[in-house]
Structures are given as C-alpha cells and as structure tokens.
Chain A
Amino acid sequence: MIFKSLIAACIALVIVEIIFHRHASFPWESWPGFYALWGFVSLFAIVVLGKRLGRHLKRDESYYDD
C-alpha cells in the first residue's frame, strides 16, 4: 500500500517535471529525470557500498570489552 503510493508519487513528480519547465544551473542538470535517477542511484549505491564496508568493519558488541 505504502509502496504503491510511493511509486505513484514518484511517477507524478516526473510527469510534473515534463510539463513544468525548470531552471538548471549546470547543463547535465536539465536532463529530464536527472534528479529522480540521481536520488535512486545514490541511495542504492550508498547502501550497497555500506554493506560491503560493513563486512570489514563489523565486530561483535563485546569486541572492546576484553
């Protein structure tokens, strides 16, 4: 339910962007859907990289106790 409304909101935002002309400061910024893609990919990459980092850095909670 929440997931579906989130998808709906995302689609709505992209449609608004296509209709509504927005100002861009950098050329690549003006590509339609740039920010949408950027947000999705960034978070995805952060979580996947974080997970990899965790493999090396995670320790048991009692690690510093002994």
Chain B
Amino acid sequence: MMTSLPPGVIILIGAFLIPLLPRSAQAAGALVLPIVSLAHLVFFSDPMVLEAEVLGLSLMPVRIDKLSLVFGYIFHIAAILAALYALHVRSTVEHVAAMLYVGSAIGAVFAGDLLTLFVYWEITALSSVFLIFASRTESSYRAGIRYLIIQVGSGVLLLSGILIHYQDVGSMAFGQLIGAAGDLGEASAGVWLIFLAFGIKCAFPLLHNWLQDAYPQATVTGAVFLSAFTTKLAIYALARGFPGTDALIGIGVVMTLFPIFFAVIENDLRKVLSYSLNNQLGFMVVGIGIGSQLALNGAVAHAFVHILYKGLLFMSMGAVLYRTGTVRASDLGGLYQSMPWTAAFCIVGAMSISAFPLFSGFVAKSLTMSAVVEGYYVWTFVGLLIASAGVMEHSGIKIPYFAFFGHDSGIRCKEAPLHMCLAMGVTALLCILIGWFPQPLYAILPYPIAYAPYADLGHSLTQLQLLLFAALAFAVLLRTGLYPPEKATITLDTDWFYRRLVPQWLRAITNGIRRQREGLSQAGDRFKNSIMRWLLHHYGPEGTLARAWPTGSMVLWVAILLGSSLILYYL
C-alpha cells in the first residue's frame, strides 16, 4: 500500500490537514510533512512507473527514475530546511500554501506524462502566490497579481503546447521533446509552445523579470520557499524535455551575464539575490544545452547545490529583514556585531555560490565547466568566466559586505531566532560537506560519473586566483570611491514595459476613445437638434401643419364643393 503512494501526495494531503491543528502546532506540522514524505521516498519508493487510463488517454502519473529522484531528494531537503526556518510563523495560509507548493513541485518532477505535469505546474503557481500575498502590503499584492498572471500564462502556453503536441504524435508521454539534432528550428509548434512555457518559468532573458519583481515582495520565509522550487522545476523540465538543444547554450550564457549588471546597482538585497538566482540558472541552462552526460550531470548537480546555498542566502537576508525590518543596502551595514551567526552563515553561502574550492558550488560548477571545455565551446567558456567574476561581485561580496560590514548603520538588534540559526547552520554545513565530500552527490546524479574535482590542483588554483583577484578589484574600487554608493532607488527592468509603458498606452487609448466619443456625441447632438428644428418647423405648435383653420372657411369650402358637384350633376 505504502509503495503505491505517489511522491508529494503525502505533503499535498497533509497540507489540507494543517488548518485542523491548533495554531501553535501548525508550523511543526508543516515541518513533519516533508520529513515523513522524504522517509517514504527513500525507504518505500523504488524506481517505477505508474500508468493510468483516463478518458481514453494513457497517462503516467508517476515515474521514478534517476533524474526525477535527484530533484525529489533536494526538493524534500529544501522543504524541511525552509519549514524549520519558518517555525515561528503563525499564519495558517502561509503554511498551507507552502506545503501545497512543495507537494505539487515534488509531484511535478515525478510526473511521467505532460498532462499530470501541467496540473502540478498550475498548482505550484496558484499556491506559491499566497507566499507573496502573505506580506499583506499593497505592493506585495500588486506584485503577486503580476506574478500570478505570468505564471498562469506560462501554464496556458504549456497546455496549448501539450494539446498541439498530442495532436501531432498521439502521446502524452513526457520524454525528450526536442529532436536528436537539438535544433529548435525543426521542432513543431506544440514543442515550441512547451519550450516557451518552460522558458518563462526558467526566467529566460526578457521573460525573466517576474522573478525579481515577485520574490523580494514575498514574506521572510516565503522567499526561502520560492527560491527553491519554481525555477528548478523548470530546470528539471528542460533537462527532461530539451537536453542538447543548441539554442539553450546561447540563452544560458546571456542569462549568466545580464543579471550581474543589474545586481551591481540594485539596492534591495533580496532583489540582488533574485538577479543572482537568474544568473545561476544560466549555468544550468548552458549545461542542458550542451547535453552531454557530463554537462547534464553538471546542470543537475548545480541545481542541487544551488537550492541549498541560495536558500541559505535568502534565509540570512530574511533573518536581517525579520530583525531590522529592511534589506535595503543603503539602510544596512555593520550588522556582524549584532548578528554574528547569521553573518557567518551568509558568508558560507556566499563562498559556496562563488564556487570557492572546498565549497559546494565548486564541485558542481566544475562539472559544467569541464563539459564546456570538453565540447570546446570557447566563447561559452569566456562568457561563463566573466559570469563567475560577476557571481563573486554580487553574491560573494556585495550581499555580506553591505549587510554585515561596510559603513556602520548604527542598527543594533538581536541575533536571528534559534530555529532560524539552526536552519541556516544545517544548510551551511551541507554546503561545506558537499564541497569536501562530493562523491555522495555524484552518486545520485542521473548518469554514471567518475569525476574528482580536486584531482587537477591547477583548477582549484586558477579558481582561487579568479575569485581573490576579483575581491581585490572590489577592494580597490571601494577604496578609490569608484564603487557606486548604495542609494535608496529602484532599477528599471523589463517590468517597466508592463508596469509603466503598457498602462500609459492603455491610458492614452482610453483617453482617445473618450475624446472620440465626446466628439461623436457632440456631432450627434447637432444632428439631432437640426432634425428637431425641422420637425418643429413643420409639425410644431407654430408649424405649417399645425396651424388652426377657422370653421367658417371650412363651411364655405364645403358649400363650394357641394355647389360645384350640383352644377356638374345638371350639366
């Protein structure tokens, strides 16, 4: 019986039971759910497929294979850590939404057919938006609505794509959708739509801005959940459906590069992390685009470690927000005195994401970089090297420096609560352990791998040089005053088009329509008036046809008529 429960379903059912618990026990209940579900996945679920026939469609609601298992494991781990971090939250809506979100994301990576994937895909969108609404501010409400429109839009594209694809091939199976040549130009319209839907969720360049718009508006704990699932679900979907798609290499490189410039000037540190997230997704997308076994392993390993260190960074900034009420770099600084543990955990996350040797980012990124070298993609390699320095800038230095060091803001607050420190501590420990002992991670990757990241000491050396000299450049820029000072500003991105330009157009169009209508109604009034004048002229009380005739003249005319008819009769 236990074996037949699809992964994720325990959490989904459990999410509906959370409101039955007393309010003080709901957070603990939300923590228990992913733990139980992970135990079930590890001990009771063997690689398997579950097939079902629904309305004449042959579906495969569950497929447990190596690719889905890696994502299944890390989604569970992320959920446990985030739920631990959220132990203080006393909002039923947040716990239910978070668990529905987690459960549906896990269900999605184990979905064997496209229709099941779509259903879970939509549930992740609908549930996760409540983590943004839960901030209960006007701006979070608006950002949440924008997020929802884009996420549901991606779902609509996905469903249209699935239906067209089903018409073409007569199968709902979710396997490799792109042809063996990896050429999108030869793909059908249905596959294109599915690719676009995945691309929106994966924050491809120009489709990316929902991420930086929405995540910084989420609650302290909501952002930790959000950072883990939605985009990595898209990475999984791309790895499953589009491995070796050439276009992804170029898309990925652009994705690693453009966010780093925005991250330099952004003031909201959780928004900086969102740009950084976007940049990290680029590395994974490049790996999927190359499509060799080494590259796909690299992309998946990167997703795995990324969920941990990005979660850790969001946790540390969340702790800062929780204690000080702000994550604006211009308001912060010098917090290491008040929050030494949070600062230490943040630095571990920063070193992991920057891929310092002996931290988790290094052992994952090395795989992708090796695959790039192996395929001799020179320009991709150059792009990723620049991006690596960029990661060091925004996540490696900027985040910890402006929050915990830099100029002293004078803010004195308490250290983060114990459960937050515990969640950050465990995550930081995982980041270090994976960096020291990468083999257990390599063992669960989808393809067999024999890789020793520290075998070539030159690689560690050059990576250290790259990072430390980048740090030196930062220090020089800071000392010479060339580094842009943090100011209380926002940065325009593609959201400008739908938050400013389109509303302006709509306003111009409605104004135009109103003016036209006013003009038309004036012309109509004039026409109406002239008709009325004409009618009045002829039929009005003074009109020709309404003139009063004397009775005498009537009698006279009748007498004349009668007289003339009498004369005619006699003639």
| Chain A interface residues toward B at CB < 8 A | 2-3, 6-7, 9-10, 13-14, 16-17, 20-26, 29, 33-44, 46-51, 53-54, 57-61, 63-64
Contacts and interface: CB of A to CB of B under 8 A. Distances in A.
Nearest to A30: B458
Nearest to A51: B484
Contacts of A58: 265, 487, 489-492
B389 A46 contact: yes
Contact of A3 (B385, B393, B475, B484): B475
Contact of B265 (A6, A29, A34, A53): A53
Q: From DSSP, what is the main secondary structure of chain A's interface residues?
A: helix
Given A17-B461, A50-B484, A51-B484, A23 B475 contact: no
Contacts of A43: 389-390, 392-393, 469-470, 473-474, 477
Q: From DSSP, what is the main secondary structure of chain B's interface residues?
A: helix
Interface in B476-508: 476-477, 479, 482-484, 487-493, 499-500
B491 A57 contact: yes
A42 B470 contact: yes
Contacts of A53: 261-262, 264-265
Given A13-B468, A38-B389, A59-B492, A44 B265 contact: no
B461 A22 contact: yes
8 contacts: A10-B472, A33-B465, A35-B465, A39-B392, A40-B469, A43-B474, A49-B261, A60-B489
B496 to A, nearest CB: 9
Contacts of B463: 35
A41 B477 CA distance: 11
Contacts of B461: 13, 16-17, 20, 22
Contacts of A26: 373, 378, 381
Given A25-B373, A61-B490, A46 B469 contact: no
A12 B393 CA distance: 22
B53 interface: no
Nearest to B396: A43
A22 B462 contact: yes
B265 A50 contact: yes
Nearest to A45: B386
A47 to B, nearest CB: 6
A51 B264 contact: yes
B385 A42 contact: yes
B393 A47 contact: yes
A3 B469 CA distance: 12
Contacts of A40: 469-470, 472-473
B471 A6 contact: yes
A59 B470 contact: no
B34 to A, nearest CB: 36
B504 to A, nearest CB: 12
A58 B527 CA distance: 53
Given A53-B262, A58-B491, 4 more contacts: A35-B463, A40-B470, A43-B469, A63-B490
A57 B474 contact: no
A42 B386 contact: yes
Contacts, number: 148
Contacts of B386: 42, 46
A23 B484 CA distance: 38
B567 interface: no
B492 A57 contact: yes
B381 to A, nearest CB: 7
Interface string B508-523: 0000000000000000
A35 B476 CA distance: 18
Contacts of A49: 261
B265 A54 contact: yes
A53 B261 CA distance: 8
B150 to A, nearest CB: 17
B260 interface: yes
A50 B490 contact: no
Nearest to A7: B472
Given A46-B264, A58-B490, A39 B484 contact: no
A39 B500 contact: no
B475 A6 contact: yes
Interface in B228-272: 260-265
Interface centre among B263, B469, B472, B476 (most CB of A within 10 A): B469
Interface string B443-459: 00000000000001111
Contacts of B162: none
Contacts of B373: 25-26
B264 A54 contact: yes
B49 to A, nearest CB: 40
B558 interface: no
B81 interface: no
Interface string B12-29: 000000000000000000
A43 B469 CA distance: 9
Contacts of B265: 50-51, 53-54, 57-58
B390 A42 contact: yes
Contacts of A59: 489-492
